[in-house]
């Protein structure tokens, strides 16, 4: 059999059997459908670039943790020529499928049972035949939920181990660990006793929605060139020449668009992609909506404002245009992704979900503490469509509107950072599974697979700051830290415990960015780059350069006290059978198979576990 990392795998457009009527219904004309017989396919490269590029912590083995935790570079490991093919498969389900190709994993085990050669060979053949059938059943399980949940649990356990080591290094390291743990892992909320409750307000309406009027001064005949009034049209035109580039400077667009970056970017992208024409969106209605949307972002919020929304929208636009994904998504899905990016933080108050929960806010009560802000952003974004001359989807069919709404809801809810590990596990499981399966084909003809890619695309765009050029990245870092510190000041005023990285007196900006890259951004973008290889390699290079810059500017921290390890309880996870590395479990069980234990019982045991 070929080695797992040598098996080619292709990403193809949707099922080619759909009729032209279905394509038209979803906003794609048969003339440029991604389903044509000549449409390109994408090879998912299964070998990793060797050399000096860093691998994320997901590729660490247990032996790596014998190293000193004080070694700063331990947070990522350099690619090693000593890796075997199996080392590059890290998600449990893909490891199981990889195991299918070589059931003993190359390990020779001497059976303790007394069997003749003929009996042993027959038992092995029968058992492997049953194993093959059972694994075929496992392979049909959708990798979106039950199977990738094992990877999520494994990644959380590995991240917990990394954070425990980081917190041993210094006080600031402990604070960075606490921030990553509390922000990017979906844990049970530890709710503080709330401040005195304000007088109850009616919750029958969506808070934050204001009556605004932009339509009276707009018409298709008098529409500005870039959708916004500006005295710097030539300068703005020059900046928009880079609209399709990752190095696009959104700060200069804001400067030249009369501080209307979101309206300007949305107008430029929709014009370039001809979405106004495709979905028959009246231009004055479109501009009215995006200006109303932009007005519902808070200009006094340092980071989560319309500038950030414009940046995420433009980044999503570039990711949608990556050559590897050419002709993969329908126009309706592209429309939904751009709309989701534009509304994903509307009416953001500049504080975290946990702050809203801890203060017993109206929003937390309305959404039952679950993805509070993300639910609110969706509600506001869709509610604004009901304002005068704002329904940009007025000419979509009922089916198209329903499909778009479902897509947008899925994508915006995925921007809840506490879902990060689940998103990462979903994507990595899908990519690795298709590398080692016999078919090796990812058709993306199921909604769960298509939305999985779109969710991660918007999530990547939302976490794209560290992959931008250093001057842009540093501006974003200054803004997010300012927003964190403002929340910390509010918590201090209320007598609350100050959230991690929100105390302006103790936070280490440089260390927070190195940890943010090592444990969150790098593993995500590494997986995305694997999906669209080689299109994102330059982004990974920039990410590494930015990490090195922050690492080199990091102030040296004093050594922790000897009893530091006693303070790590908050980062420990309770491990269950589901958390175990499935490949290790299989190898262990296979040893006992040689003494007469039937492997089919083991596989059915695992099947029950996967589908529970």
Q: What is the DSSP letter of 113?
A: S
In this structure, the strands spanning 42-43 and 10-11 are: antiparallel
* 23 annotated among ligand-binding-site residues: no
C-alpha 217/C-alpha 239 separation (Å) is: 26
Which of 165, 304, 376, 420 is labelled catalytic? 304
CA nearest to 325, candidates 537, 28, 41, 525: 41
* 487 annotated among ligand-binding-site residues: no
State whether residue 549 is helix, strand or coil. helix
* 305 annotated among ligand-binding-site residues: yes
State whether residue 46 is helix, strand or coil. coil
C-alpha 55/C-alpha 20 separation (Å) is: 44
Q: What is the DSSP letter of 518?
A: I
C-alpha 271/C-alpha 259 separation (Å) is: 20
CA nearest to 547, candidates 51, 185, 56, 182: 56
C-alpha 255/C-alpha 598 separation (Å) is: 69
C-alpha 191/C-alpha 193 separation (Å) is: 7
* 345 annotated among ligand-binding-site residues: yes
- Beta-ladder partners of 54: 78
Query: Is 513 within 8 Å of 548 (Cβ atoms)?
Result: no
* 306 annotated among ligand-binding-site residues: yes
C-alpha 527/C-alpha 6 separation (Å) is: 18
C-alpha 432/C-alpha 423 separation (Å) is: 14
In degrees rounded to 5, what are phi and psi of residue 498? -75, 130
Burial of 489 (0-12, 13-18, 19+ CB in 10 A): middle
* 348 annotated among ligand-binding-site residues: no
Residues in CB range of 205: below 8 A, 6 or more apart: none
CA nearest to 508, candidates 489, 485, 527: 485
* 462 annotated among ligand-binding-site residues: yes
- CA dihedral defined by 566, 569, 571, 573, rounded to 10 degrees? 130
What is the CB-side half-sphere exposure of residue 218 using CA atoms within 13 A?
24
Helical spans, DSSP H, in 414-446: 420-436
C-alpha 89/C-alpha 536 separation (Å) is: 20
DSSP track, 234-285: HHHHHHHTTTTSTT--HHHHHHHTTS-HHHHHHHHHHHHTTHHHHTT--HHH
Instruction: Identify whether 446 is a catalytic site residue.
Output: no
C-alpha 272/C-alpha 275 separation (Å) is: 8
In this structure, the strands spanning 77-78 and 54-55 are: antiparallel
CA nearest to 332, candidates 409, 281, 279, 264: 279
Binding-site annotation, residues: 304-308, 344-345, 462, 513
Binding-site annotation, residues for AMP: 304-308, 345, 462, 513
Binding-site annotation, residues for Zn(2+): 308, 344-345, 462
Name the residues annotated as catalytic. Answer: 304
């Amino acid at each position: 059999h070929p080695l797992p990392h040598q098996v080619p795998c292709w990403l193809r457009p949707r099922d080619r059997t759909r009729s032209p009527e279905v394509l038209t219904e979803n906003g794609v004309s048969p003339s440029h459908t991604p389903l044509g017989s000549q449409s390109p396919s994408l090879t998912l490269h299964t070998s990793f670039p060797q050399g000096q590029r860093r691998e994320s912590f997901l590729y660490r083995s247990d032996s790596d943790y014998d190293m000193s935790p004080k070694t700063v570079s331990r947070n990522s490991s350099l690619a090693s020529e000593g890796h075997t093919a199996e080392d590059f498969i890290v998600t449990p389900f893909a490891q199981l499928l990889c195991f299918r190709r070589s059931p003993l994993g190359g390990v020779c085990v001497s059976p303790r049972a007394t069997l003749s050669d003929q009996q042993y060979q027959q038992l092995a053949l029968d058992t492997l035949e049953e194993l093959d059938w059972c694994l075929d059943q496992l392979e049909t399980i959708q990798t979106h939920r039950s199977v990738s949940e094992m990877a999520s649990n494994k990644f959380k356990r590995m991240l917990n181990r990394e954070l425990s080591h980081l917190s041993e290094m210094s006080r600031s390291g402990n604070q960075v660990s606490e921030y990553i743990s509390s922000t990017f892992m979906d844990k049970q909320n530890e709710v503080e006793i709330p401040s005195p409750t304000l007088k109850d307000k009616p919750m029958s309406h969506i808070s934050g929605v204001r009556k605004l009027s932009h339509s009276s001064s707009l018409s298709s005949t008098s529409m500005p060139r870039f959708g916004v009034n500006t005295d710097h049209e030539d300068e703005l035109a020059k900046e928009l020449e880079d609209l399709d580039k990752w190095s696009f400077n959104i700060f200069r667009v804001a400067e030249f668009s009369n501080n209307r970056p979101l309206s300007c970017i949305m107008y430029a992208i929709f014009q370039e992609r001809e979405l106004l024409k495709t979905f028959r969106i009246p231009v004055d209605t479109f501009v009215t909506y995006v200006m109303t949307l932009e007005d519902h972002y808070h200009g006094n919020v340092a980071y989560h404002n319309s500038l950030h929304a414009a940046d995420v929208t433009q980044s999503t636009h570039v990711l949608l245009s990556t050559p590897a994904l050419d002709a993969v998504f329908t126009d309706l899905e592209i429309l939904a992704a751009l709309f989701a990016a534009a509304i994903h933080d509307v009416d953001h108050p500049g504080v975290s979900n946990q702050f809203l929960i801890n203060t017993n806010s109206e929003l937390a009560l309305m959404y039952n503490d679950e993805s509070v802000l993300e639910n609110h952003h969706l509600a506001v974004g869709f509610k604004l469509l009901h304002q005068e001359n704002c329904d940009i989807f007025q000419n979509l069919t009922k089916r198209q509107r329903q499909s778009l709404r479902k897509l947008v809801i899925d994508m915006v809810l995925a921007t809840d950072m506490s879902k990060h590990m689940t998103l990462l596990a979903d994507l990595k499981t899908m990519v690795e599974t298709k590398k080692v399966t016999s078919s090796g084909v990812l058709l993306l003809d199921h909604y769960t697979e298509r939305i999985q890619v779109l969710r991660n695309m918007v999530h990547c765009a939302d976490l794209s700051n560290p992959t931008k050029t250093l001057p842009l990245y540093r501006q974003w870092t200054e803004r997010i830290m300012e927003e964190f510190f403002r929340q910390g000041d509010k918590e201090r005023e209320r007598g609350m415990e100050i959230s991690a990285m929100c105390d302006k007196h103790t936070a280490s900006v440089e260390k927070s960015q190195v940890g943010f890259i090592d444990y969150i951004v790098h593993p995500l973008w590494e997986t995305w780059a694997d999906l669209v290889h080689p299109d994102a390699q330059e982004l990974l290079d920039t990410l590494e350069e930015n990490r090195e810059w922050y690492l080199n500017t990091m102030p040296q921290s004093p050594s922790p006290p000897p009893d530091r390890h006693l303070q790590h309880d908050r980062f420990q996870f309770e491990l269950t059978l589901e958390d175990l590395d499935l490949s290790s479990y299989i190898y262990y069980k296979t040893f006992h198979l040689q003494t007469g234990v039937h492997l089919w019982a083991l596989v059915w045991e695992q099947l029950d576990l996967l589908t529970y």
